[in-house]
Amino acid sequence: MNAHESDKLAHMLVTSGMVKSNSAEDADALIFQTCSIRNTAAQKTLTHIAQAKKTRDKSNPSQKICVIGCLSAEDRNYPELVGVDHILGTNELEALVEILTGSAISQNFGVGNSIIIAHGCENFCSYCIVPYVRGREHSRCVDEIIAEFENIKNCGEVIYLLGQNVNTYKCPRTGFGFVELLDKISSINGDFKINFMSSHPKDFTLELVNCIARNPKIERNIHLPMQSGCDKILELMNRGYTVSEYIAKIEMLREHVPGVRITTDMICGFPGETIEDFNQTIATFKQIGFNAAFIFPYSRRTGTVADKMPGQIEEKEKKRRTSELVDINRKILTKNKDV
């Protein structure tokens, strides 16, 4: 989503008369589009901002340094942000364009190969900062999305529909849900494929599965973040489903959508996760046999419920569990490739 918003911001600035610079040091304006979903990402960004300020002060004092996105929406009091010229939060692309160019421009146009269909999130997973920095969920109108889709349908790539939880999309004007939106887009003439992310398993329904099955323009690659294969940890994460319910969704997909590829996200070392809990995740992971998995150690984020939970696990142990699950996933993929 941040990559998509960066593309939109660049397009708006160029449309308003600015030119992309080949050098960060020589640019009139340097913009950091930030992410804070993981602590490591936030710290790396702050390091880059601090270095940019030093370079500016030494070589290009008139340069404007701008920070926008989740990091600055979360907290504007980082020491590294002192001396930054413009600090904005999320959903403020147009405001930054007006500050830098003096002209207002709408961001509702197609750029790249993705479209944001909804902003914000209602789920409040205990490890996630997104609802606090992007706000509560609000969907865009179907007509806006369709108009944007028409502009990019011939990009030659798979077009992604983006949202923190696309399954709960609801057009504020017509009341259309996500399935109706997919059907409507699939009926558009053109040689394109559609995909979407992210899907929350608790809202992944048979109606959506049937929609995928009947629309060949929807890719057979489904990303369904599981996060843990242990019921106790899923409850602590506030995910809203059990392991058995998640597995039932996978079986439903595989039954109704032949050849479907299923990918997932997994978090290792969540607060309170015992070795027994982790072993349950391993067993579940092996049982499902994902086509690919993005596996991360739990990243502690100030302002989330999980940050204050007891049973915080040492970094070394979180990384060990992550490496173990990554190795298991690699062996599963190698085995499937050889079959």
Per residue of the chain (339 residues), give pLDDT as tens: 777 778 878 878 888 888 999 899 999 999 998 887 777 778 889 999 999 999 999 999 999 999 998 888 777 888 889 999 999 988 788 888 888 988 777 655 556 788 999 999 999 999 998 888 888 899 999 999 999 999 889 888 899 999 999 999 999 999 999 999 999 999 999 999 999 999 999 999 999 999 999 999 999 999 999 999 999 999 999 999 999 999 999 999 999 999 999 999 999 999 999 999 999 999 999 999 999 999 999 999 888 999 999 999 999 999 999 999 999 999 988 877 654
Give the residue among 323, 325, 315 at the shortest CA–CA distance from 39: 315
| Residue 39: Cβ within 10 Å count | 15
| Residue 62: Cβ within 10 Å count | 6
Strands 292-297 and 261-268, how do they pair?
parallel
Classify residue 203 by its DSSP letter.
G
The sheet with strand 64-69 has its strands ordered as 29-34, 64-69, 86-87
Continuous segment of H or E residues that includes residue 267: strand 261-268
Structure confidence at residue 318 (pLDDT): 97
pTM listed for this prediction? 0.81
Q: Are 200 and 238 in contact (CB under 8 A)?
A: no
Map out the domains of the chain with their CATH numbers.
2-101 (3.40.50.12160), 110-219 (3.30.750.210), 221-339 (3.30.750.200)
* 211 token code pair: 């929609």
Structure confidence at residue 339 (pLDDT): 47
Q: How far apart are the first and last CA of the chain?
A: 36
Structure confidence at residue 185 (pLDDT): 97
CA distance 182 to 199: 14
CA distance 310 to 315: 15
Strands 64-69 and 86-87, how do they pair?
parallel
Coil/strand/helix, residue 160: strand
Strands 64-69 and 29-34, how do they pair?
parallel
